[in-house]
Amino acid sequence: MVKILVIILFFLNLIFSQSVNVSVDKQRLQKGDVLQLIVEVTGAKNFPKIEMDAINNNFEFVGGPYEQTSIQFINGKMKDTKTLTWTLSPRKIGNLTIPEIQGSIDGKIFVSQPIKITVANNLKEGSGNSVFILAEVDKESAYLGEQITLTYKLYKDINTKISGIDQFQMPDFNGFWVEEIFTPQRLQYQSKNVLFRGRKYQVANLGQRALFPIASDQHIIPIVSIKTQIEKKNRKTKRDPFFDPFFNSFFSETQTKVIRSKKRIIKIKPFPEPKPTDFNGAVGDFKINVEIDQREVEVNNGIIFTVLLEGTGNLGLFTLPKVDFPQSLEAFPPNDDYKKDVFRNQITGSQKLEYVLVPRESGYFEIPMIKMSFFNLKLDSWSTIKTKSFKIQVTGDNVESGNLKGLTKKEIELLAEDIRFIKTKPSEISAFENKLSKAVYLFYFLSTIIFFLPKISKKIMKINLFKVDDRRKKNAIKKSLKILKTKNHDSFNIASKAIYIYVQERLLLSSKNLDPTAVKRLLKNYIDDITLKELISILKICDAGKYSPTYKKEMDTIIPKTKNILKNIDQSFK
């Protein structure tokens, strides 16, 4: 009986010895300060499972959860305590509340009491303005497609010392097409101090982007935040003659602060009416030219026709006008070449379309002019640009060339060498005046082989010789893995370059202007969310390595991580 009673008391002790305590390290703080939310459990086998979503309304999670286990022996009894800690930053000033926290310990449910938090705006005069971020834009209203230059700047009072700062990450700009203008390799303050509201500051450029508004419900430049460690000022004390003040720097006290920029709302201006019927979204200042490599050509010989658009504006966000070629000129899909440059913080560049034209009949033909309308920001009105027309002369006899459609530019160039052997004038050695020459028969023979060879090869070898794009896709992973083998101290740059090259080659992108936001948008329909999240995390770590020395430990592992995830992504495409 006594034995049974002891066992019952033992289990009752286990059940009722569990306790939960939810607390914070401070209930009154100033704007930019952080607080610690602590959940302490005694007598539990496992760490508690807690639902924290309700806290997101008023607080931002800066760090955590951090796990800690401690064991104490008091009067011969063991006390096992498990602690979870989060670092929170208030999203606004005023009276806030940490709501009831629900969780479970070893299958048992618990609910905490709400905790009141007071956030004041600069409890100490001027202290709240010692370090801050500004999101500076060159305009607060714009047309769709008009460039907005955004610069994030860190302002630090000349008397304030920052002992540590987290990496700065560009946010996602929903409602904008983004082009990179400037990304610093490391945090560097300008040589000259800046006077802002009667106070001198050191200023560092955290990054600069060109934003082009696209059709969307809203256009908001979001809030960004950075966690900093700011040294506290020591009160003036008498100097100890036996202690060197040099050692004070090793024992300085720091304070954690989260600094945030303000949200900016961009107003979209409507285009003036009436809009030109041929307006395709081009906004800026452009000029257009066309070139042709020859104006007199024989039947079935190739011509190179080039359309070149140059200027400043939203290049890449609109298509060039369609060229109406004469039916007798067979036009093959053009080669698109897009180049971008940054000049005085403006996105400039060119877009070139190169067509291969093959005349199928003799005669005189005219390639009509190309006309294009755009909204001219300098004039704040509509402008129209156009090219001149070209007349070409095609000589030689008309030859039925068979079905040559579907060939690429390179194949046309190969065929051109054979076509040049065709004799369209009477030959002295011809035995039959009214029949085709041997060269024409040779042409038919070669044309038939070239037309049917890809189909036969595809069935036998399952390889389409004409699909250069397929080879480019298949070689994407090889190209990226080769980049990862490059011997260079800058592992972050190598890893990010390998990822961007893979995405560009695998998706056949003409533009090389990629960033984590663009990669996320391009791959979200191809790979699962977990893999995509891991890939974006690697890209952000690569960007962070440019700012913070705390990421040096990632240098040895970033290359293997990139190699593994690229292999996994490549398998998803197969």
Mean pLDDT is lowest, of 1-10, 329-338, 503-512, 521-530, for: 1-10
Q: How many helices (H) and strands (E) does the chain have?
A: 9, 32
Residues 404, 302: contact at Cβ < 8 Å? no
Please determine, for residue 387, whether its predicted confidence score (pLDDT) is greater than 90. yes
Mean pLDDT is lowest, of 88-92, 153-157, 214-218, 281-285, for: 88-92
pLDDT, mean of residues 333-350: 86
> What does the pLDDT read at residue 452?
66
pLDDT, mean of residues 397-405: 54
Per-residue pLDDT reduced to its tens digit, 425-461: 444 444 444 444 566 667 667 777 776 666 665 554 4
pLDDT, mean of residues 358-369: 92
* Sequence-ordered list of residues with C-beta below 8 angstroms from that of 448, at least 6 positions apart, any chain: 402
Beta strands in 35-128 (DSSP E): 35-42, 49-51, 59-74, 77-90, 94-98, 102-105, 108-111, 115-120
Phi-psi region for residue 219, left (φ > 0), alpha (ψ -120 to 50) or beta? beta
Please determine, for residue 267, whether its predicted confidence score (pLDDT) is greater than 70. yes
DSSP assigned state of 57:
G
Per-residue confidence at 220, pLDDT binned at 50, 70, 90?
A: very high
Please determine, for residue 466, whether its predicted confidence score (pLDDT) is greater than 70. no
- Domains of the chain from N-terminus onward: 20-120 (2.60.40.10), 127-239+247-269 (2.60.40), 279-425+435-453 (2.60.40), 470-573 (no CATH)
Is residue 115 helix, strand or coil? strand
DSSP labels, 228-290: EEEEPPPPP-PPPTTS-GGGGGGG--EEEEEEEPPPEEPEEEPPPSSPPTTEEEEEEEEEEEE
Mean pLDDT is lowest, of 107-121, 223-237, 533-547, for: 223-237
Per-residue pLDDT reduced to its tens digit, 24-62: 877 777 776 777 788 888 877 778 888 877 787 788 777
Per-residue pLDDT reduced to its tens digit, 310-320: 999 998 889 89
Please determine, for residue 558, whether its predicted confidence score (pLDDT) is greater than 90. no
Per-residue confidence at 69, pLDDT binned at 50, 70, 90?
A: confident
Per residue, the 3-state secondary structure of 388-427, as one string, reads CCEEEEEECCCCCCCCCCCCCHHHHHHHHHHHCCCCCCCC
Mean pLDDT is lowest, of 27-36, 210-219, 396-405, for: 396-405
Per-residue confidence at 424, pLDDT binned at 50, 70, 90?
A: very low
Residues 303, 296: contact at Cβ < 8 Å? no
